[in-house]
Amino acid sequence: MTIYWRPSGPIPASFWPRTPVPTAMPSARSSPWPKYSTNLAARPTSSSPTPYPPPTALCRTSAGSTTPSANDVDPTGTTPAILLECDSIIRTGLLGLEGRTLINIDHHASGRPFASVNWIDEHACAVAAMVYHIAVAANVEITPSMASCLYAGILSDTGTFTYSSTTADTFAMAHHLAACGANPSRIARDIYLSNPASKIRLLGIALSNLQCDDDLAWTWVTSEDMDRIGAIAEDCEGVVNYLISIAGVQSAVFLREVANADQFRLSIRSKGETDVARIAERFGGGGHRNASGCTLDGPLPVALERILTQLRTGL
């Protein structure tokens, strides 16, 4: 049985923290800010252990490692699995999910109801925000570790609170999570000031290939480039944001050659009316209106011609 829940309308009030977030600044004498029972001493500090798994533990798999499987955790295959931000089982990169009860939580416009239970809210600023709502609705006490993970998810998925999905509700969540022990400056440092050198070298290569035409910008890296500097696929994340940051550029695309496949992985961004989710969907990909991705067959000039034609015509 497939339950497909796409909520409409505002978030129920019961999902919100118990005290409304005030809009006025606190006065010295009577603070209008909500009082939280959080133990401030328990908040992570710069010298305390990382409150969440390091990115390296989650993203980087060494060459020759085997594909992780859900059966490594539960060999019986009976434990349900919750999948975040995935439009299919394949997207998880995990084996052993077939036949399990799957719960799919996603906020992509191109999200698909492939699981047993599907909660897809394209208006949610982050999947971490959706998880937050579940935690609040379930009356879970949000520990500093949980708050740190949720805050990190919201921070990164809103483009550091800059995407159009960022609303007053986003800041209310951020406020609550900080009060629950998330450390904003530490999390920002761990996300934005902890790049491996290979990522910055790869950025240098990508920016040196930069092409601009009218309101389009594009660039690429080859798998040979990546091998030469020891870069991995994750090092390509965010490159396209430098392109869309150029004044006057309305659409941007970054192409990463997939090793041994004669294919290119595309990251597409827009800041105008161009709906890049629909363009990516046309090529079998998906994403958001202003941020999407897809894969195209090479060689590079052919892939470039196809995507640039689509971006120029708007569809």
CB of 106 to Mn ion, least distance (A): 8
CB of 126 to Mn ion, least distance (A): 6
Confirm if 315 and 279 have CB atoms less than 8 A apart: yes
Q: Residue 38: what residue type?
A: T
CB of 109 to Mn ion, least distance (A): 11
Total binding residues toward Mn ion, as defined by CB under 5 A: 1
Confirm if 142 and 177 have CB atoms less than 8 A apart: yes
Number of helices and strands in the chain (H, E): 10, 10
Whichever of 95 and 103 has its CB closer to Mn ion, that residue is 103
Residue with nearest beta carbon to Mn ion: 157
* Strand-strand pairing, 211-213 and 117-120: unpaired
Which segment (23-31, 97-105, 152-160, 217-225) binds Mn ion by CB under 5 A?
152-160
Residues of the chain by 3-state class (helix, strand, coil), percent to 5: 35, 15, 50
CB of 122 to Mn ion, least distance (A): 10
Which segment (22-30, 151-159, 211-219, 249-257) binds Mn ion by CB under 5 A?
151-159
Token pair 């400056």: residue = 185
CB of 107 to Mn ion, least distance (A): 6
Closest CA to 280 of 310, 240, 251, 301: 310
x-or-dash pattern for Mn ion, window 156-195, by CB under 5 A?
Answer: -x--------------------------------------
Is residue 57 classed exposed, middle or buried when 0-12, 13-18 and 19+ CB atoms within 10 A define those classes? exposed
Whichever of 51 and 287 has its CB closer to Mn ion, that residue is 287
Whichever of 74 and 122 has its CB closer to Mn ion, that residue is 122
- What is the spatial distance between Cα 253 and Cα 266, in angstroms, rounded to a whole number? 7
Residues that bind Mn ion (CB under 5 A): 157
